[in-house]
Amino acid sequence: MGFIDVHAHLDMLETSPEETLALAKAQGVNKIVTIGTEPKDHPKVLSIAQKLYPEVYCTLGFHPHHGSEWNQESEKFLLDHLSDKEVIAVGEIGLDYYYNQSPKEDQKQAFRRMLEIAADAKMPVEIHTRDAEEDTVEILKEFKGKVTGLIHCFTGSAWLAQQSLDLGYNISFSGVVTFKNADDLRQTCEKIVPLDRLHVETDAPFLAPVPQRGKKNTPAFVVHTAAVVAQLKGISVERLLEQTNENARQLFPKIIW
């Protein structure tokens, strides 16, 4: 049994997916979820998952940066492939008001539509939210009891963490939790997020954890994030491994263990 990196972008890495998986397995990371973010990468991430299944899975969705690109053709691709055995969630979806690369209304429209699709397909979601906490929560409230999933790469407030948990969402921590200036995030991890609602991820190639800061992130590095999270929760890395795998098993029922 090894860790699962619940959020990575294998199509963005310099190493091949095969090499990336081999490096990860050498560090005890046996499963990876690679993320679809826009029409251009959907066929590629699906192909990666198909080739490396059942160790690599994928999601299909629209990152908020690409909210304005949402159209009927893109929706058809999602609807045609959500039933594929490699596709375990709708994602990455959400709101990002920090960069605003798509207008806010376009982001909201795409976000709501993909939550509708997830609800109809009875699939979980992976959510990105940055500088958009109130709107994210308000939209998720519209789908309470209809959609489950996780808030990926959580860097938000304690309020957002509690709201997300109350709405039934799990929370995933990335390498950010290891950063020097992340004391508030570590407090949220330690005090607010229960062990049975918690995940670890890399968001590779971004946000490499300490002690790998300055390098391109890769799924093998999730073990460093896991070590910090385990310390915060006062448990062994082995116990964290066991629980995060169980959490992923519950959240993503299409994964083969």
Does residue 26 form part of some domain?
yes
Name the amino acid, one letter, at 164.
S
pLDDT, position 1 = 82
Does residue 256 form part of some domain?
no
Q: Which domain holds residue 182?
A: 3-251
Number of compact structural domains in the chain: 1
SS3 40: coil
pLDDT, position 70 = 83
DSSP letter for each residue of 200-239: E---TTS-PPTTSTTSPP-GGGHHHHHHHHHHHHTS-HHH
pLDDT, one tens digit per residue, over 117-160 is 999 999 999 999 999 999 999 999 999 999 999 999 999 999 99
Does residue 147 form part of some domain?
yes
Average pLDDT, the chain: 97
Does residue 217 form part of some domain?
yes
Which class for 141: exposed (0-12), middle (13-18), buried (19 or more C-beta within 10 A)? exposed
| Model confidence, pTM | 0.97
Q: Average pLDDT, stretch 221-228?
A: 98
Place of tokens 């045609």: 80
C-alpha to C-alpha distance for 81 and 89, rounded to whole angstroms: 11
Q: Average pLDDT, stretch 67-75?
A: 85
CB neighbours of 31 closer than 8 A, spacing ≥ 6?
Answer: 2, 3, 4, 5, 55, 56, 57, 248, 255
Q: β-strand 87-96 against 56-60: which pairing, if any?
A: parallel
Does residue 257 form part of some domain?
no
Q: Average pLDDT, stretch 1-12?
A: 96
Does residue 187 form part of some domain?
yes
pLDDT, position 86 = 98
Which CATH number do you get for residue 71?
3.20.20.140
Does residue 39 form part of some domain?
yes
pLDDT, position 100 = 84
pLDDT, position 71 = 84
Does residue 230 form part of some domain?
yes
C-alpha to C-alpha distance for 151 and 242, rounded to whole angstroms: 20
pLDDT, one tens digit per residue, over 162-221 is 999 999 999 999 999 999 999 999 999 999 999 999 999 999 999 999 999 999 999 999
